[in-house]
Structure formats: structure tokens, C-alpha cells
Amino acid sequence: MSTLITPHTDARMAEIIEKVRGGERLTLEDGVYLYDSSDLLTIGQLANEVNQRKNGNKVYFIENMSLYFTNVCESRCAFCNFRKDQGEEGAYTLSGEEMIAYVEQHIHPGVREFHIVGGHNNHVPFQYYVDSLQALHDRFPEVTLKAYTAAEIDFFTRISGLSIREVLERLRAAGLKTLTGGGAEILSDQYRQKMHVDKANVEEYLEVHRQAHKLGMRTHTTMLYGSIESHEDRVRHMLQIRELQDETNGFMVFIPLSMQPKSKNAGMMRRNSAYEDLKTIAVSRLMLDNIDHIKAYFINIGPQLTQVSLSFGASDVHGTILKERISHSAGALTPEGMTREELIWLVKGAGKIPVERDTFYNEIKVYE
């Protein structure tokens, strides 16, 4: 058994260490204690041990592109700087042909996945969203379509009058393979009310993923942290994801998303600290014992901290992305994308083994 970096822990931490090493599930109280603790190195080491059991030294990435068909949105979430009103300067809604032209200008042969999200644009019918996927699938059949958040799926049910299952079936027929993880924010209806999250509530978000998993789809899920929520809110969020995973086993990865300020000029005190980002990744790894991967999202925490996070429980560094917009429309100061070579360098620089994957974590190439 490995020795703790910080051996002089209190009795409560020692109990958690024993639970983790014995494979015992952590409780809400355990998670809140970890968040409140200042013993970051012990928490990080424990998370690293869990990740080593699941993934060894392998760290995964994918060659993908982020695509945004529309930024017009009926919702006015307090943290969003991406959305526009119909007719507002900068608002856009692309046709399938326009998106294909954009992709053909920027795609390269290694791209395996389109990551597609956007606004809840109620000025177009549901068929627009179906046709958007169909156009991409017809032109690029070899590229996996990872599209739409659970909140977007819920929005589609409202504008179409269809059930969640019917919406998913229509989209799958057009080429959809998996859902993105966004729209979760913090799974607390009180939080969602205070932050004006005028889209799917907690139960609706979870039900969309439940229905997707019942159809055989494997999906992604997120947590947007760093605003008004408490540590207990974050842990309760993780527990709700864990409970659904116990039921369906449909989540592939959990993605903690560090809240970005409204402006790139926002000062350091308006951003999450590196300490908070690392602790959130580590606590996520410890609480979500039934999900294989925790993602370090370099778009939000930066390449260097992403490297460090690979010793704090993270096993995935996302992908090449190619011009991310949502975080950068807020205050993200990080790169808008990275090349395959840069991602390999990043992972090797952390003493890990880079593994290029497909959307479903099938290994394409291991870079020893």
C-alpha cells in the first residue's frame, strides 16, 4: 500500500482513505468533508490511486471539431455570454449547406467527431435540427455526430410535441450517435431558479439521459461549478449522476466545467482558483466510482493545469476542438483548440501515455 504524501491526517481523513482503498463508496458527508479540507495533496493522491486502478497511466483524447449551428436562444441563463436574440447583432442560424461549407474549410483527415451544441432557437422548427444532423451525416458519414445537450433535447420536445424517446429516435435516424454533457449546470432546482436557468430542470435533464441510455446510447455529463453553489450542492450533483449511472450504466465520462467570467478582462479574483479546479477534479474522481473517466477540460482550466490534473484523477483531455466558442464568448483565456501533436506533448509532459480514441473510448492509437 502506498504511503500518503501528507501522513499526518486527521481521523476523518484517515477513515475516508480506508474507504477509498477498500473500495467502499463515499457518502455525501464524505464528499463535503473533502471539499472543505485543505489537504489537497492527500485528496489528489487518493484520486490518482482510483484513476490508476481504472485506467493505469493512459490518458485519452480525440480529434474533433466543435460546431455551432445557431446562437439564437430563448433562455437567458445568467452565466451565458454565447446566446443572442433573433435579429440581434451577431446572431446567426446556419443551414446545413452553410455548415458543410464551414467544415470543408476547416476539417482535416484525422477528425473523428463533430461536437455540436447551440442555442434553443425557437424561431425554427424541430425539423431544422434534424435536417442539420442529416446534412452533416450525408456529407461526412465517417465522422461521429455527438450532438445536443439534454436541455436541447427537452427543448425539442416542447417545440415538436414529441416525447423524449420520439425526439431521440428522429435524431438517431438522422445520424445522432451520442449526446453532449452540457445543460446540467448544477443539478439543483434552487440553483437553477437563482441563476435563471430557463431550460430543463433537474428531473428533465436526468430523464433525457435515462431515455437515451434505454435506447442503447452512451452519453456524457457535466457540472458547471464556481458561481453561487455550495460544496454540498456540487456533491449532491455528483450523487444524482452516480445514482443514474447505477441504474443505466450509460455515462462514459464526467466533465467538471470551471465557470468563466463574463469578460476576458475580468481579474483573477473573478475566476476559479487552480486549487479549486484541481480539488473538483479529484473529488469528482472519488465520488463517481461507477464512471470510467473524469475529463480535464483545457478550454476552461488551461493546458498547464490540465497536465497537473492528470495526477489528480483525470484520464481524459478532451480533443483538438478547433475553435471553441461558448467558453470563449465569456472570459476564457485559454487556446480555442489544440493539435494532435500538442495534446500528445501535453500528456507525455505529465508522465502519462497518450491514447487517441474514438467517441466511445475505443483505442485508435497508443503513443508509447
Q: Which residues are annotated as a binding site for [4Fe-4S] cluster?
A: 73, 77, 80
Report the distance separating Cα 59 and Cα 355, nearest Å: 6
Backbone angles phi, psi at 182, to 5 degrees: -65, 175
162 within 8 A of 170, measured Cβ to Cβ: yes
Question: For residue 188, what are the contacts with CB-CB under 8 A and spacing of at least 6?
Answer: 202, 229, 233, 236, 237
Query: How is residue 11 annotated by DSSP?
Result: H
Question: Residues within the annotated binding site?
Answer: 73, 77, 80
Report the distance separating Cα 267 and Cα 10, nearest Å: 36
Strand segments (E) across the chain? 58-62, 64-67, 113-116, 144-147, 176-178, 219-225, 251-258, 293-294, 316-319, 353-357, 363-366
Report the distance separating Cα 327 and Cα 318, nearest Å: 14
Helix (H, G, I), strand (E, B) or coil at 168: helix
Report the distance separating Cα 287 and Cα 242, nearest Å: 8
